[in-house]
Structure 1
């Protein structure tokens, strides 16, 4: 197929222009000039288009001598293809006479039968003896093979990108989307055939737009920004989660801005949400289980103030019989009120601990968290004859935490210590709860003077289904490890100086007190 090239190289264009103006150049001098060139050149008669001469480079490339080339026609020197019929080449040569140099694609076949895809340029040259058409050609087989390979790579890449949940976009400095890949269109729920003009912020949920603007502004050419998550609204109305990285680019005038690489992570977010819900249910089950173990002790504790309330009220009624006993009656009613308030406080504390809550991270003093649960620990220990000692740090220990969950960790560790001492032989079991601060962290230690555990069990005490108690399943301590890890802390178990067990955890101190 004949085709015109819009851009000729400077050297070819200049040479053809100069030769066309040399109407008095002798053919012999012209041939000497062409023979010195490294480019392949054939001279054709301007009228018949028959070959009249070839330079040395053309003879070497085609494997023919000049004498052997003279009688050859187009079908002798090219492949049998409709794109390379003689009429095509003749048409290009005829146009060169009227319109100037003509570029076209031609396939030359050498004497050895090797095809050489070429870029040919026909130029009319009015020599002194007779006019000729000079055809200069160069082998572009390697370039064509490279184009074919690149085309194949592009097709493979397109096929590969068909099923990917990720895309690429270029956002201009004004926030317009200048380019959007086909896979990106699918991620955003767009019809691949629809033209669009949109701003990047149009797809982002309103709550995330300021954060996306900040990411775009912080983009540099050196490296991509850290990945961030965004909730986007697709063109079909569906909501998806994307992980986006960005880098500034300046490829040309059309692709100048910020290159966005985004990936659909909706499935990952859904999985994380399911795991978070499962963890919340497990934490709630842990608190519920802890209260279940204390049910008898709590019932006993509540029976005392309730019985006292009844006694005080009955006594007040009896004392009201004589009219002059009003003072004593008031005293009895006030005492009953205090006991009722005490019972209400116990019930409120249990309810606040057991009730299922959404996770809320707040600023808290670790000492106050310990104080919140100390009553339950003392109650549980007192029921089995164990003493509890509280040693609070002198100054506040501010931490960022989910207060109920950290309280649950303290309860689990303390209950575990009480259980260890319950079956021990020593007469004076003591559990010490101490808070302290070291190297930027707040620590809480639960220390008992019991028999401890075997050395090989210390390292796996907080692993799932590992327990130091007979019949224990280890879920409580494993839950403690998960909660502390979520708060960027660490948890440990080691032998105490008294020979028992020292279980504790450390959480980062908050910068804001």
Structure 2
């Protein structure tokens, strides 16, 4: 086999895009350079040979000739050495390079071959990335969110510094498992979310109540996604954010809404004070008459007649007590939790108060109940408040128009797969362009009204996943409808 001649080796090295300098192993003087090195440095080969390190190197302490010579010496005794060096071209242009010094014992003399390539742009990119990383770290110091990586075996492989702060874990402290921070009620739910994560898209955000390592209770919103980067990352990427302030604000709003709803019931009873007083006056007057009659009959020696009068008085007193009990139960009962109910029964709960108010106003109330059950899952008292507000609004509209044959119809029905309540009056109605604004809190169907009661109705119905709207009633007047989602009733499991 014929080996290439020396000139052929020179041609091969000249064809390289990598810069090559050959230094004498003893003196470290340049003995040869390939074409790429000559072009990069701006010197011909003849001009390069007598040059020393200071002639073609950036004048900085870390690029002193002694440091370059030491790297070449280590290449002779320890093998190839990789180091950073900044060459300077004839035109004064600096070229930051990655240099590799390799000892090569040739036949004529031993040399150190230095290969170098321009890494100026790479280094600039690295510095820029380091600056971005520093800025990002500074920025994330103030974030209430964190990122963690969970291995397929459930081990926390990585967590950001901000994530440690969110969880209340100090530097160097063991992290434990992710579910360990959740309350027992939420732990299984979080495990299920992690188990169902896919690589296509993040899971739907879910909120969890956690106990931090320092014992503080906080709320987190968590999303996760499976990631698999070959030879680098495999597992679950978890993003969590502290939303305790949001939860506190929501809770404050819910409390405020409940207080407003509670006050609405007091207001409704206040508006009915005259009607309730009138309703109570009848049994109380009868009680007085029966007792006075019994006293007279006792004076006349008619004991049987006196006993009959006292029993009649007792029945009237019981009737008055029932009226007071109904009012008291309606005002005091708050039912802060949802319950199973039939919309027809809820209408029945408040029908007494509506009829009482209508009797005072001289308006007839007609109740039309659906023939089938209308199961809903709701806060029963609040839905009753909606019915009461809508009915009172209709009664006032009829009272102000002084209609001789005012009628308010309260109907329940099944419509489009929902439980529906309809409150219809035969009054003057409202303009068609006002129907959509009726429940916005600034409109009312009655003169002098501000619509706050109707706005409260919309808040309650919307919170229950329902819809409320108004439309013109057939034959004139206004019709308000409330549609609530039906509760899904599961059939009992069949026996084996």
Q: Tell me the TM-score normalized by structure 2.
A: 0.92
Aligned match of 2:276 in 277, 298, 301? 298
Q: Aligned ranges for residues 249-398 of structure 1 at < 5 Å?
A: 249-251=227-229, 255-316=233-294, 326=304, 331-355=308-332, 357-398=334-375
Looking at structure 1, the residues matched to 231 and 23 of structure 2 have their Cα atoms a distance apart, in angstroms, of 45
Write the deviation string for residues 110-145 of structure 1: whole angstroms up to 9, x where unpaired: 111111111112222222222222111111112111
Deviations 1:188-207 (A, max 9, x none): 2232x333241112221222
Which one is further off, 250-259 or 482-491?
Answer: 250-259
Instruction: Tell me what 1:455 maps to.
Output: 432
Relative to structure 1, the CA distance from residue 325 to residue 177 in structure 2 (aligned partners, 3 Å threshold; closer, same or farther) is same
Is the 1:386–1:428 Cα contact (8 Å) retained in structure 2? Answer: yes
| 2:182 paired with 1:204 | yes
Shift of 1:291: 0.5
Q: Deviations over 1:306-333 (max 9, x none)?
A: 333344445456656799955x566545
How many angstroms apart in 2 are the aligned matches of 1:132 and 1:458? 95
1:178 maps to 157
Cα gap change, 1:339/1:176 in structure 2, threshold over 3 Å: closer, same or farther? farther
- Range 328-337 or range 463-472, more displaced: 328-337
Q: Judge conservation of contact 2:286–2:313 (CA < 8 Å) in 1.
A: yes
Deviation by residue 1:123-172 (Cα, 9 ceiling, x = unmatched): 22222222222111111112111111111111111111121111111223
Q: Look up the match of 2:486.
A: 509
Q: Distance in 1 between matches of 2:236 and 2:297?
A: 87
Name the structure 1 match of 2:56. 77
Question: Counterpart in 1 of 2:494?
Answer: none
| Cα separation, 2, equivalents of 1:32 and 1:492 | 89
Question: Secondary structure of 1:259's match?
Answer: strand
The question of whether the paired residues in 2 share the 8 Å contact of 1:26 and 1:129 is answered with no
Residue 124 (structure 1) aligns with: 103
- For 1:399, what is the secondary structure of its paired residue? strand
Which residue does the alignment assign to 1:400?
A: 377
Alpha carbons of 1:229 and 1:275: their partners in 2 closer, same or farther (altered >3 Å)? same
Is this contact kept in 2: 1:43–1:53, CA < 8 A? yes
* Residues 79 and 109 in structure 1, CA contact (< 8 A), matched pair in contact too: yes
Q: Tell me, yes or no, if structure 1 residue 223 matches structure 2 residue 201.
A: yes
Structure 2 unmatched ranges of 5 or more: 491-496
Q: 1:196 to 1:254 in 2, by over 3 A?
A: farther
Residues 1:474 and 2:433 aligned together: no
Task: Return the match for 1:414 from 384, 391, 394.
Answer: 391
Pick from 69, 92, 99: which aligns with 2:78? 99
CA–CA distance in 1 between the matches of 2:377 and 2:59? Answer: 81
Residue pair 1:124, 1:133 contacting (<8 A) in 2 also: yes
Q: Aligned residue for 1:213?
A: 191
Q: Which runs of 4+ in 1 moved over 6 A?
A: 320-324
- CA change 1:384–1:35 in 2 (3 A) is closer
Residues of 2 paired with 1:351 and 1:366: CA distance?
Answer: 22
Whether the 8 Å contact between 1:170 and 1:178 is mirrored in structure 2 is: yes
Residue 442 in structure 1 maps to residue 419 in structure 2: yes
Q: Structure 2: how far apart are the matches of 1:116 and 1:167?
A: 40
Kept after mapping to 2: 8 A contact 1:315/1:332: yes
Most deviating of 469-478 and 59-68:
469-478
**Paired residue for 1:66?**
45
Alpha-carbon distance in 2 for matches of 1:491, 1:510? 18
Q: For residue 510 of structure 1, give the secondary structure of its aligned residue in structure 2.
A: coil
Question: Which digits, 9 at most, give the CA deviation of each residue in 1:325-384, with x for residues without a partner?
Answer: 55x566545444432332222112111211152522111111111111111111111112
Identify which of 140, 143, 150 aligns with 1:164.
143
Query: Which runs of no fewer than 5 residues in structure 1 stay unpaired?
Result: 1-23
Aligned to 1:423, the other structure's residue is in SS state helix
Contact 1:390 1:432 in 2 (8 A): yes
User: How far apart, in 2, do the equivalents of 1:128 and 1:176 lie?
Assistant: 58
Q: Residues 74 and 494 from structure 1, CA distance in 2 versus in 1: closer, same or farther, beyond 3 angstroms?
A: same
2:30 corresponds in structure 1 to: 51
Asked if residue 115 in structure 1 is aligned to residue 94 in structure 2, the reply is: yes
Q: Secondary structure in 2 aligned to 1:116?
A: strand
Q: Distance in 1 between matches of 2:402 and 2:70?
A: 113
Let me know the Cα RMSD of the aligned residues: 2.3
2: CA distance, partners of 1:90 / 1:424: 108
The two structures have a TM-score, normalised by structure 1, of: 0.90
The answer as to whether partners of 2:390 and 2:480 remain within 8 angstroms in 1 is yes
How far the C-alpha of 1:252 sits from its partner, in A, is: 6.3
Structure 1 residue 423 corresponds to structure 2 residue 406: no
| 1:282 shift after superposition | 1.1
Q: Paired residues, what number?
A: 488
> Take 2:439 and 2:62, find their aligned partners in 1: how far apart are those partners?
78
- Kindly indicate whether the alpha-carbon contact (under 8 Å) linking 2:16 and 2:36 is maintained by their aligned counterparts in 1: yes
The one of 112, 116, 135 equivalent to 1:137 is 116
